[in-house]
A and B are shown apart, each in its own frame.
Chain A
């Protein structure tokens, strides 16, 4: 960490102290010289998490703690404050805030994309906000780490004190960390990027640009005859931050974003702090392994609405589980040994009560305090002055009336760098019992004031009778009371008001006769929160761990048996073996070991009797869009080859399970079709329960989505708007990719040349041209496909496949000659003009002519019944084995995974489905689905899981109802 600004820190600290002798600002008017010397006596001081000094004293001099302990020498000039046993804790530090940063930021960036603003410095934007500071102090905070959180790389953070004074006096440290987020700010325009994958691509590109910027300028210095590289303050700031190893703070909306942020940090070697979400418990192990500090909000989900049966059935188990488990997240993360700091981001005024809830749900009090004091202080590099109570440290602490984490405890004072803030001002307690000492006919009357602080109720007891008050309200200045006196032996309406102090009401009143009088009352019983003592502490619910934490999530990752022997099945090998009746399949360590007859079982093999059942390769869908976070299309530009589906996959998608139930074991996840050149695809296996990264088939041929026709040309205000323009913009991109290659060749061959910028957009296009990446081209009409074939041929590459390919049958000969695959629907047509000539015979004709043909769904639901899609091609005259190839081997070839899967052949991955009948019968469903020799779906297990989920839902809903009941009872008690 960069410590160069520590001396500066000292100065700033002293600036911020009232009556400081040194300051650069000119004094206007009279100088103020109020002493700032205090001794706080009889205090129980928690000096740091886990360390308590009982009945000790604390001396504060000009904002700094100068003495601490049991027998401290009391300075003669000190003002004495007797704390009467109250507690003192170190003040809290919020690790993630936008406090004092205006929403509109004047200091604009200079990078081409406004979402990249690394040059923006919060220290220049910071403008203290008294109201917001007061809210933060009310939750115990004395300092915040504040950032210009606008855009994707928003700029540099500062640490600011929550005291009062000029900005320059409040800034503790400036340019502490760089901000990072993945949701583009709409305030900066609605252009590129529009998607999460686009956001990641842009962040990566700008980080590469920053590296290039330094290298390019260095090369230029060495060799001034070259062309001067651009001057760019944003890249300069980003490069400088990286050279200084300045940490980045990434906003991660959920645990998957946590891991995505961690991956970027890994790629660029960034020190990273992650502002989490509260979902981290769902993938604790992996999250912990990153070793990254987490800044944790304590915002807990609202209670799901399950009041009516029809509302309840619309609430998912995922939502129910998260509602119950979220308050345990802080305990879970600290117990796991993660470095945790808290932020009140997202919880605001509920922060303290949520903190107490987290403690009730298992968070260790010492850990909790550390997450608010020592941990943030250490991370932020201000631990010499903040985070603990010790001699020489800033007098920044909080005073409470009892144990900080107890429910009834209030923070009474917050001291910020020696400035004292009384939190109880204006918060006088009106509730309790008051007895009127003087006041005409009221003398001897008792007022019982109840209700909640914001909504008071009460009654008057007088002459052995009582009546409810018509009105009881405290407005911060006066207590107002109105009642009708007739039923307590008085007459008419009494209108009273009084000044409220701790134990006395000093009031005025008027009778209905118009007579004015004064009255006085004293507190005869303090207010006590009424709780039904008979209510027992609720026992924790026993919820199983689930991966993912939702419906059908697995409690334990399914295991791979050493050997599996499937006996007596009708095996559709989709290989040279053809369809084998009464055959056996032996799987060893996840691979197909033997296919044949009467195979003897190895020792301890798992044996499945599949008599009367069919076994096929796992089905493969070469085109879906399921489980993609933050947008399937990057619509911000026509060419978005820099986007990568693999960056934004999320494995906690129940569709993965449903696809397994339909026999799907592999699929390609594609970028959408809004762009002539879209993003990079991801080829996955349905390893339900695992994280997205573990779903990828790493040796699949990488793919790039391209698109032609209606979808690309109807994007308003963007080139192209015709099929002709589509050809030209693609050609332009191919040409640019070749120029890019030339630039690198030139750089590699000649010393002293300014390096080309690494271009994430052109690299994948170049890979396509060089045959290292497959082009998968969305197309409907024959003319656009023919254009694409010729374009590819001009640049010397082969189209891997056309996608949808509705008019493929019209140019099957051309496709075959070129060597392009055809990925088609069985029977989708006529939903738009270019789909009008879609025919049922498309697959048959393409296959007949010799084009590598595959079916696809482009639709997650359709994908769950690809066997039925294949069955429909049978009636057009396709043979059974060929129809099965359409959903197994052929897509495997198109995706470049046929060396791994797609047929039942020795050496391939054991991806297979056991069906309860002919796999293409409309009456058949999958019994079991296996991936890598691991059973991920079983029909019987599914039945069991469904019952288990009904019970789990009932358990959580029961807890919601019990809590609602208690809340209702509590409200009723307060009302009475």
Chain B
């Protein structure tokens, strides 16, 4: 899904013109993209201790005036009065706050540079059944939007392929690094399934048959290959698609099913249960209408688009903002994802904090973009909180990280202190220099 706001812009600027002469523009882009950002940070050298800060561990409460010590990219200690090695670099963060890096669990970041330029996006493969696709191999380390996310504390992201019934496999990526390979936090997090639209029964049933066939065929393939492995004396050639579905069939890899309206939510739940799959639902406001059932079934939810208008004329102006509260009160295991746009990945915290404006407890908002997300994605052993043993992927801020005015002063990803520069700052400085040269008032 393309972020709604993005589409609306294009629409409102001109409701008739949607497409652009791509040929005419692609040349310009290529040159533009090559003028890239600052270099990624080197690996952590010696131990680092952040002291005197308010540490929002997320899992172990808030430590006032405490310290975080990390070494070789991993947190080794947190708390008050911990032993700090003499060779440690000490960062005095008195009066500052330390938070785990934010996790954006549904984005196009790294797979899209300019929305309207097809050549700059790698989101969708031909055909409806693409379980073999691996999102991370097209993750573009030079994307300008990565640094923007990183300097705003968005350290871990899940770029999501889309546009097919089975769109491919998800990976968690870090937002700073030289290659996609070293930026991969964990691959094979889940299999993207886009539940078909249910407006037209005929086309819906056609799509469901396609989806079902894929799973049935993969199951037959699994049996046959197992027999082959077990030495049954039969040979079955490798099938690149069905091979990739095996971890889903065995329950090792969850399906991430995108759903919209209630009909889709309930149909997807029933299907996944029938297939015996481990399931995560990805959807928006109508999740609130079935919150009780989601809680009862213990199905985790990635909630997209908290910042949005009402879908129906009678809905309250705050309906979308209130959905996290509805899920929380019903006891649903949920996390919040921001809008899909690559350029807006940086503002994931706003989706969480706007839910606070409509009743979600502040600590739950923070958890919904850190530890809750990490757990649903299955990366909570690595990131999502400030705990010894986890990666030192965290930030120092000058205030409440959920507030829009708060500045992120330092960001560490796996202990590496990243340079706090992005395209925004670079162009700002460049053009301030222009105006300085022209002796304009500062």
Residues of chain A touching chain B, judged by Cβ–Cβ distance below 8 Å, are 194, 309-310, 313-314, 316-318, 550-551, 625, 631-633, 635, 654, 657-658, 661-662, 672-674, 710-711, 714-715, 778, 809-810, 812-813, 816, 827-833, 835-841, 844-845, 848-850, 858-862, 864-865, 868, 871-872, 874-876, 920-925, 942, 946, 949, 953
Contacts and interface: CB of A to CB of B under 8 A. Distances in A.
A220 to B, nearest CB: 41
A810 B430 CA distance: 9
Interface in B100-133: 113-117
Interface stretch (B49-57, B202-210, B306-314): B306-314
A827 B403 contact: no
> Which 7 residue pairs across A and B have the least CB separation, nearest first?
A922-B353, A874-B405, A841-B428, A871-B404, A316-B313, A861-B309, A839-B424
A832 B262 contact: no
A551 to B, nearest CB: 5
B405 A833 contact: no
Given A658-B309, A813-B438, A862-B5, A317 B13 contact: no
A922 B317 contact: no
A841 B17 contact: no
Interface string B1-39: 000111011101111110111000100110010000000
B375 interface: no
A831 B427 CA distance: 18
A861 B8 contact: yes
Contact of A872 (B12, B17, B347): B347
B357 to A, nearest CB: 5
B431 A673 contact: no
How many interface residues does chain B have, given as a range? Answer: 35 or more
Given A831-B6, A831-B114, A849-B440, A711 B357 contact: no
B347 A923 contact: no
Nearest to B360: A923
B17 A317 contact: no
Given A672-B15, A833-B29, A841 B353 contact: no
A807 B302 CA distance: 35
Given A674-B17, A810-B431, A848-B442, A942 B404 contact: no
Nearest to B430: A810
Given A833-B117, A839-B428, A872-B347, A635 B6 contact: no
Contacts of A314: 312
10 contacts: A654-B313, A674-B14, A833-B25, A839-B428, A848-B442, A865-B354, A868-B350, A868-B354, A875-B407, A922-B403
B369 to A, nearest CB: 13
B214 interface: no
B402 A922 contact: yes
B145 A830 contact: yes
A635 B21 contact: no
Contacts of B13: 672-673, 711, 778, 858
A839 B423 contact: yes
Contact of B405 (A836, A838, A875): A875
B314 A831 contact: no
Interface stretch (B91-99, B166-174, B337-345, B381-389): B337-345
B164 to A, nearest CB: 23
Contacts of A633: 14-16
A840 B424 contact: yes
A921 B403 contact: yes
A809 B14 contact: no
Contacts of B263: 310
Contact of B313 (A318, A661, A830, A942): A318
B266 to A, nearest CB: 9
Residue in B6, B19, B312, B404 with the greatest tally of chain A CB atoms within 10 Å: B404
A949 B318 CA distance: 16
Given A316-B313, A631-B15, A841-B424, 18 more contacts: A313-B289, A317-B314, A658-B309, A673-B14, A715-B17, A778-B13, A809-B431, A829-B343, A832-B116, A833-B29, A839-B423, A858-B12, A861-B4, A864-B317, A871-B404, A875-B407, A922-B353, A922-B356
A841 B425 contact: yes
Contacts of A317: 313-314
B317 A662 contact: yes
Nearest to A654: B313
Contacts of A632: 12, 15
Given A635-B16, A711-B14, A809-B427, A836 B404 contact: no
B236 interface: no
Contact of A831 (B15, B116, B313, B346): B116
B59 interface: no
Interface in B323-349: 341-344, 346-347, 349
B132 to A, nearest CB: 29
Contacts of B350: 868, 922
B63 to A, nearest CB: 23
Interface in B45-68: none
A873 to B, nearest CB: 9
Interface of B: 4-6, 8-10, 12-17, 19-21, 25, 28-29, 32, 113-117, 144-145, 261-263, 289, 307-310, 312-314, 316-318, 341-344, 346-347, 349-350, 353-354, 356-358, 362, 402-407, 423-425, 427-428, 431-432, 434-435, 438, 440-442
A849 B308 contact: no
A711 B435 contact: no
B427 A865 contact: no
Residue in B14, B114, B145, B349 with the greatest tally of chain A CB atoms within 10 Å: B14
Nearest to A715: B17
Contacts of B8: 859, 861
Given A711-B17, A832-B20, A859 B405 contact: no
Nearest to A675: B14
A830 B115 contact: yes
A837 B343 CA distance: 11
B6 A875 contact: no
B15 A827 contact: no
A625 B8 CA distance: 11
A711 B14 CA distance: 7
B431 A550 contact: no
Residue in A661, A850, A923 with the greatest tally of chain B CB atoms within 10 Å: A923
Given A310-B262, A875-B405, A922-B350, A949 B314 contact: yes
A738 to B, nearest CB: 29
A835 B342 CA distance: 13
Contacts of B10: 831-832
B167 to A, nearest CB: 22
Nearest to A314: B312
A364 B6 CA distance: 53
A865 B353 contact: no
A828 B8 CA distance: 12
A327 B263 CA distance: 34
B384 to A, nearest CB: 21
Given A864-B317, A922-B354, A925-B358, A831 B12 contact: no
A714 B21 contact: yes
Contact of B312 (A316, A829, A836): A316
Given A550-B313, A850-B441, A920-B404, A836 B14 contact: no
Given A864-B309, A875-B405, A831 B9 contact: yes
Contacts of A848: 442
Given A635-B16, A845-B431, A832 B114 contact: yes
B435 A828 contact: no
Contact of A710 (B20, B32, B343, B405): B20
Contacts of A850: 440-441
Contacts of A832: 10, 20, 114-117
A836 B32 contact: yes
Contacts of B432: 845
B410 to A, nearest CB: 15
Contacts of A827: 343-344, 346-347
A830 B405 CA distance: 23
A858 B9 contact: yes
B38 to A, nearest CB: 15
